[in-house]
Structure 1
Amino acid sequence: MKMTKKAMSLMLAATMLGSVVTGCSSSKGDTSTPSTEGTGVNNGEKVELTIGISADPVEVDLVTQQAEAYMEKNPNVKLVVEPIAGDIWEVLKTRMVSNAEPDIFYMDIFQAAQFIDAGKLASLDDLFTAEELADFEPALVNGFKGQDGVLYGIPKDFSTLALYYNKKMFEEAGITPPTTWEELESAAKALTKDGVVGLSLQNGIDRVQPFFYSNGGSMLEDGKPTLNNPKNIEAYEFWLSLLKNGYAQTPQQLGVGWDGDAFAGEHVAMTVEGTWMIANLQEIAPDLEYGVVPVPQKEQPASMQFTVAYSMSKSTKNPDVAKDVIKFLTSEEQQKLITDAGRAMPSRKSSLEAFVQAWPDRKVFAEAAPVASEFNYGVISSTVVAEAAKAMEKLLLDSSITVKEAFDEAQANIDKALSNQ
């Protein structure tokens, strides 16, 4: 659901909601004073804060461990970890109508601009010094800044995209992993045989964007989404040719739920996916021999980054304590737990080095960080993704339409949505 500033304002003005579970719980007043070392409250007053996170069991276990570590150091603070099932962002939007959101909560880079624009997130500008903040990957931090330049989220971890390939299939075909677009097409063609498709492509902007940037294109210019950048059009023409020629297929065409299933089932030899697919492969295809290399490039290397931050509600009764908790949760010490888990990568540069040492097979994802563009298109991110998806689906089904025509039409709808903000 798209939530513009106007729409969210109307939503916040609504009075038809019944009971909503209260999240911003606390003791009376906000006189608690945290220490300067991220060790919490020291004046003896009891404080309770809620932390809203996704309901993923691994995430719940990880954040619960962190919350317990914080409470051990700060016995006067009670942290309640609240898993939010379903679409966490829609739940948060609904609860914000009654200022009933958690004190602290996950904030996806894709969603951040909408919440910032609606004025529901508190500033975290004073949480770290400039030197301390420099330890975080810059692109991750920038994704949580508003147009006012204020920081509204501290990234906790992130993932990038790379090319997975089936080692056995490559060895049998006598080819090496591709590094360029030309090599990618050649490999996909050679490996499309005997019921196997060379490449699985999830036909959406969240996978094709690295090809835009590698071709010299971009998705944002002066804060405005630019889907129909000529370089983007050229890149998608290449992408579409792989699908049209049969060297690549979408998960839907392959009859599977997503790229991970196609790759795990050895229906395809290659796919472009993130670090999250490793855990999936370990679970459903533990014996599969595969490798991971950078996304093949044309003019320059490129990838895409996905990140989640901790943000703070403007409605919290204990902002100082909440800030202290966020500082603790994103500290180098606590990022060690993220490193040990090995799923997403820690957002701190210093912790990322430890991640690569612990998981050398995932080094390619860490090295992609400096060239990874953001999955973030401002307050109309959802519109951009939806319009791009419609254009790409139309192009896949109707060969009479050019990429330029489809992208221009989508861009017109994006521009209209932006003008209505």
Structure 2
Amino acid sequence: MIAVVSALGMTAVLGGCGSTGSSDVTLRLVAADYGDSDANSSRTYWDQLVKDYESRHKGVKVQVSVYSWNDVDRKVKQMVDAGDPPDMAQIGSYADYAAKGLLHKADDLLSISVQADLVGRLSEAGQLRHVQYGIPFAASTRVLFYNKELFAKANLTPPTTWDELAAGAHALKAEGVKYPYALPLGPEEAQAETMQWLLSGGSGYTDDFGAYSIDSPRNVQTLTWLKDELVGKDLTGPVAPGRLNRADAFAAFAAGEVGMLNGHPTLMRQAAKKGVEFGMVPMPGRDGEAKATMGVTDWMMGFRGNGHQEQIGDFLDFVYSEKNVLDFSRRYDLLPVTGSASRTMAAADRDKNLRPFLEELPSTQLYPVGRTSWAGVAADVKKRIGRAVAPNGSPAAVLGRLQATAANAGTGD
């Protein structure tokens, strides 16, 4: 998941305004809610978009059901298992459905111009066995956030290496900062924080050929450094990393209690609401700026079986117009997934706060979402990774167990 996890869990069915007739088609879309309140629920975005679309397409109605991130993937699975899939779903993963032959190919839905406008790196991540089924919908990258006031008190400049980050954390601790560096390895989103650190250490979840390499020597070195130099020296705050969730770390940053942490664009608004002055820099690497940063994208997909391929494709062409992509990205402080919208955002003064994230996009590495085993591997990381940096933990043992589970699960990819 990219951004805030809404607790709304509501369904919105959006009606149309087109004329009816014998050829009328009703498309059903299940979508995730990126808002954090009724006022900015994704329902308002889809309501306006569908109204605009139906006014131009008299023979098509679109019903959109919006669910919280806690519920949306499960809801789609229930519909599919019941033999009644939606025409489209905008959710967190696509590979399982693609592997079962349930999805249209992106080629069969999108016009050539729209497909060519998608950011290449994101489109590639939407492929299963070299065929694209997942259409990127919204993206984010990670940068290092730091509290400017706390840094000024400790006479610090933003770190560019791990050693500088550790030295800064020591200085912040000496100033009484509650969380010098917040390290959220709790079950909410541990796979994200873990991946960012693995990338900054020069490795990742997979190798250059796409095979799982979770227990690579570099990854063991990275987790060992975290355990010894940050956690072991009491620089990560009063909550053990394995029990600290990302949402709680973000809330602590917005409360002025965190010196540094990895964050995505939605943290900007959260911190600004609380009056926290913050800066953003690329994630430090072992000896300099990390060569790659973590990116996340959510997915749009079209389900087969309802006989609406042409109408789904036409609607998605409208969804991925520059105007609509920009509107969604700006509403929720996310990165656009098309080149045209990205160029517009990069040049616009109103979007200057998102430029650090946009600049990270070309070098971003995404989860191995094209593997049907990834969901299980991610769940295993969430469950176990905190133990690797615990006082009596063994990074090598934990990563080794994760690798064994991943390798076994990956045989069916």
TM over 0.5: yes
> By how many angstroms is 1:342 displaced?
4.8
Aligned equivalents of 2:221 and 2:319: distance in 1? 43
Q: Which residue of 2 is the match for residue 415 of structure 1?
A: 407
> By how many angstroms is 1:197 displaced?
2.4
> By how many angstroms is 1:294 displaced?
1.2
Q: Which residue of 2 is the match for residue 336 of structure 1?
A: 326
Q: Does 1:45 align with 2:26?
A: no
Q: Does 1:366 align with 2:353?
A: no
Q: Which residue of 1 is the match for residue 5 of structure 2?
A: none
Three-state SS of the structure 2 residue aligned to 1:346 is coil
> By how many angstroms is 1:78 displaced?
0.9
Q: Does 1:92 align with 2:76?
A: yes
Q: Does 1:351 align with 2:341?
A: yes
Supply the AA of the counterpart residue of 1:173: A
Q: Does 1:164 align with 2:141?
A: no
> What percentage of residue pairs aligned between the two structures are identical?
21
Supply the AA of the counterpart residue of 1:382: A
CA deviation vs aligned residue, 1:268-312 (integer Å, no higher than 9, x gap): 1111111122232344x1x11111111112364321111112211
CA distance 1:179–1:151, change in 2 (3 Å): same
Q: Does 1:78 align with 2:61?
A: yes
Aligned equivalents of 2:374 and 2:244: distance in 1? 28
Q: What is the TM-score when the length of structure 2 is the normalising length?
A: 0.84
Q: Which residue of 2 is the match for residue 293 of structure 1?
A: 281
Aligned equivalents of 1:143 and 1:219: distance in 2? 14
- 1:7-156 alignment to 2 at 5 Å? 45-55=23-33, 56=35, 57-85=40-68, 86-108=70-92, 111-128=93-110, 132-147=114-129, 149-156=130-137
Q: Which residue of 2 is the match for residue 384 of structure 1?
A: 377
> By how many angstroms is 1:135 displaced?
2.6
Supply the AA of the counterpart residue of 1:335: V
Q: Indicate conservation of the 8 Å contact 2:232/2:391, yes or no.
A: no
Aligned equivalents of 1:167 and 1:195: distance in 2? 13
Three-state SS of the structure 2 residue aligned to 1:292 is strand
Three-state SS of the structure 1 residue aligned to 2:316 is helix
Q: Indicate conservation of the 8 Å contact 1:201/1:251, yes or no.
A: no
Aligned equivalents of 2:251 and 2:239: distance in 1? 8
Instruction: Return structure 1 stretches of 4+ with deviation > 4 angstroms.
Output: 40-44, 128-132, 250-257
Supply the AA of the counterpart residue of 2:119: E
Q: What is the TM-score when the length of structure 1 is the normalising length?
A: 0.82
Indicate the RMSD between aligned Cα atoms, in angstroms. 2.7
User: For this pair of structures, how many residues does the alignment match?
Assistant: 378
CA distance 1:343–1:44, change in 2 (3 Å): farther
Q: Does 1:220 align with 2:206?
A: yes
> By how many angstroms is 1:216 displaced?
2.1
Q: Which residue of 1 is the match for residue 218 of structure 2?
A: 231
Aligned equivalents of 1:329 and 1:106: distance in 2? 12
Three-state SS of the structure 1 residue aligned to 2:262 is strand
Aligned equivalents of 2:52 and 2:67: distance in 1? 22
> By how many angstroms is 1:82 displaced?
0.9
CA deviation vs aligned residue, 1:49-86 (integer Å, no higher than 9, x gap): 11111244532211221111111111221111111344
- 1:174-213 alignment to 2 at 5 Å? 174-193=155-174, 194-203=176-185, 204-213=190-199
Three-state SS of the structure 2 residue aligned to 1:83 is strand
Q: Which residue of 1 is the match for residue 263 of structure 2?
A: 273
Aligned equivalents of 1:115 and 1:250: distance in 2? 42
CA distance 1:227–1:41, change in 2 (3 Å): farther
Q: Does 1:395 align with 2:377?
A: no
Q: Which residue of 2 is the match for residue 310 of structure 1?
A: 300
Of 230, 244, 249, the match for 2:232: 244
Q: Indicate conservation of the 8 Å contact 2:266/2:332, yes or no.
A: no
Q: Indicate conservation of the 8 Å contact 1:180/1:296, yes or no.
A: yes
Supply the AA of the counterpart residue of 1:236: L
Aligned equivalents of 1:196 and 1:249: distance in 2? 6
CA distance 1:310–1:52, change in 2 (3 Å): same
Q: Which residue of 2 is the match for residue 264 of structure 1?
A: 254
Supply the AA of the counterpart residue of 2:78: T
Aligned equivalents of 2:309 and 2:250: distance in 1? 41
Three-state SS of the structure 2 residue aligned to 1:141 is helix
Q: Indicate conservation of the 8 Å contact 2:146/2:259, yes or no.
A: yes
Aligned equivalents of 1:250 and 1:70: distance in 2? 51
CA distance 1:133–1:41, change in 2 (3 Å): farther
Supply the AA of the counterpart residue of 1:90: R
Supply the AA of the counterpart residue of 1:396: V
Supply the AA of the counterpart residue of 1:61: T
